[in-house]
Structures are given as C-alpha cells and as structure tokens.
Structure 1
Amino acid sequence: MLLAALIVEGEHLVTQERLADVLWSENPPSSSVKNIQTHVCHLRTLLGRERIERRPTGYALKIAPDERDVDVFEQQLRQGRLLVTQGRFKDACATLRHGLAQWRGPLLADLPNREAWRGQANRLESQKVLMIESLMEAELGLGHYETVVEELSLHLEMHPLHERFWAQRMLALSRSGNRSFAVMTYQQARQAMNQELGLEPGPELRHLHQKIVQG
C-alpha cells in the first residue's frame, strides 16, 4: 500500500498524513509516523535506499519517465491525439493502441481501501475514454468501419451514456452503407439516455441523426 501510494504520485511529495490515510483510512494508530518510517526502511532495502527520498513532511519516489505505465499511457495519448489532428491516422492507431495496452484492469483494483485512489482512478478513466475516442476517430479516418462498429459495441456496454461513442458508431454504420442501422443506433442511444437520465440526446447527436436521415 505504501509503495502504491508513492508510485501513484510519481516524483511528487506524499505527505505523512496522506500515507497514514492510505494505510489505515480513518483510524491511524498513535505510532503511525514510526510505523511509516519502518515500512519505508523495508522498501528501501528492496528497492535501493536512493529510490525513496525523505522530505520534511513526507516521502517521494525517484522514478524514470517511462517506468510507470501511466506515464507511457499519457504520453501515447498526447502523441496519438496530435497524429489524429495531423491526419496521420495509421500512425495514430498504432500509438493509441500501444497506450491502451498499458491498461490491464481497473487501477489498483487488487489493493484494499480503494477509496484512497478514487480521484486518480476517475481522472485516468476519463483519459482512457478520451483515448478510445481518438482511436475510433483514427479508425474512421482509415475507413475501418467494421472495426469501429465492433469495438464500440463493447465500449458502449461500459459507457452507455457517452454520446461521442454513439456518434462514432452511427458514422461508421452510415459510411459503410448501413444507414438504417445508423438510424436504429440513434434510437438505442435515445432510449438509453431517456431511461437513465430522463433526457434527450444532445444537439450534436441529434444533428448527426438528422443528416443521416436526410442522406
């Protein structure tokens, strides 16, 4: 748990208070500072003393830029999105898929006290969705419509209210000549949003639906 807290924060300072919250939630022992020092000592034995830096109010882990999966993921996201804007769709697909490969399940799911990581998990999950959007945009640019339809079917099971995924699936169906299925997809999106939120789809999705209906 201590190592996870240091890795999640990268080279940023992790305060004694934060470490106590991660390790013991709302009930830290009176000897929490001493216990943390003991844990840090054990970690230094395993990792090397120079890897964990002691600072006045806490500790920081010394890591290389590409040692954390999350750093590789975020770098690939930035690069992939840039490639999409440049119209380099093949390179973008390769880059973005490499970034998505860093994910092997929910963030730190095998650790107790998952609420301690909620903020980081939510931020990274939103970036993962953005990466999938960018990847689907690149696949659309390459004309890989069947790939987009198939993959978005899976992603929409996880994110049934994400309008951009619905729009990309509608585009893929329409551009591949399946206009009736594209219209049906809009109705599915509308039903999901009505049931879950009591709302109609947003203006972008409605406008896309109108354009598809009009051919």
Structure 2
Amino acid sequence: MAFDPSQTFPSVVMAWIRFLALPSYLYNHKIIIEIGNLVGKMVKLDINTDSRTRGRFARLAVYVNLEKPLVSQILINEREQRVDYESLSTICFHCGRYGHVESICNFKVAEAPIEANIGSLVEEPVNQNLNIETTEKKDGNYSPWMIVERKSRRKSRIEMQKSYENLEREKESSNLSGFENRKLIKES
C-alpha cells in the first residue's frame, strides 16, 4: 500500500468493530475470526472477547477498505447481525462509503448488491453447521446505528480536577467539624 498525498484519507485503515448480542455458542476463537474476515482482514480480538468473557458485544479489529462500501450487516444462521464501527465518523448512509455524507453523495445511482459467502462451513460445538454470509443491499441498510463511540474508562483531566477539589473540601469540612466538637467539649 503506497502513500498518496492527494487522498483525503488512507484507503485502508484498521477499525474496531462490534457485534452486539452475538449468541454465546459463537464465542469461539475460530468462528469469530471467520465472522471478522467477512468485514475485512481480521487483525486482533479485544481481550475480553478473546478470553471468551461474554459481555454486551464481541469487539475485534479489522482492516477496512474505505474505497468500498462498508459492510453494515451479516447473516449468521439466517439471522441478521449488525456491524457497528467505532470512531468512523463520516459515513454516507446512502452508499455506505467513508469520507462524505449522504447530502453530497456521488453514488446516488443504483448499484448492484455486494454479496459474499463463506465457502467452508464452520462447525459449532453442537455439531450443527454455521452458515455465515454478508449481504449488502441499497434499501436502507446504512444508518447512524453503524457508528459507535468508544467510551473511555479513564476520567478526563477536568473530572479528575473536580474530584480532587471535592476531596479537599471534604477534608476541610471534616477538620473544621472536629475542631468545633473539641471546642464544644472544652467549653462544657
């Protein structure tokens, strides 16, 4: 991949994606890799996903080609599974491409649907076949639910400063109340 300074953004980026409400039997390393490879080249799993700690979503990093429409959903055993992208803020909800918004979309003409299927079937622990495919249609599959912001677990500098100030106030008020209690005891 060569650097092109005339491009406004790189053609391929690593993006974190999420699969909400993934069934528990799919929390298998090989299965999640296959699912991730439907969206793009799978790079790594979130530590909680990799350790099979089933939370609210499976999270993994994939290389995404930004020159093509993003995959908005995949079908797993005939059930639709949405793909949420972290921190890709400028997505056109008409064509599914990154870098512009729907109001200035150059791809308003009808395009053929993009379909991708996994050729090999992955076996579940229950020895049933896992049928995974991704289907992109141009009938409203792209919408704001595709974009999620990762919430930092670290406090911001302002929050840290406020909590420090509150702690100082609590110390001062507790010291003053102790002083007043001593003063009352001496007076009696």
Instruction: Report the TM-score range of the alignment, normalised by the length of the smaller protein.
Output: under 0.3
Bigger RCO of structures 1 and 2 (CA < 8 A, at least 6 apart): 2
**TM-score, normalised on structure 2?**
0.21
Structure with greater helix percent: 1
**TM-score, normalised on structure 1?**
0.19
Structure with greater strand percent: 2
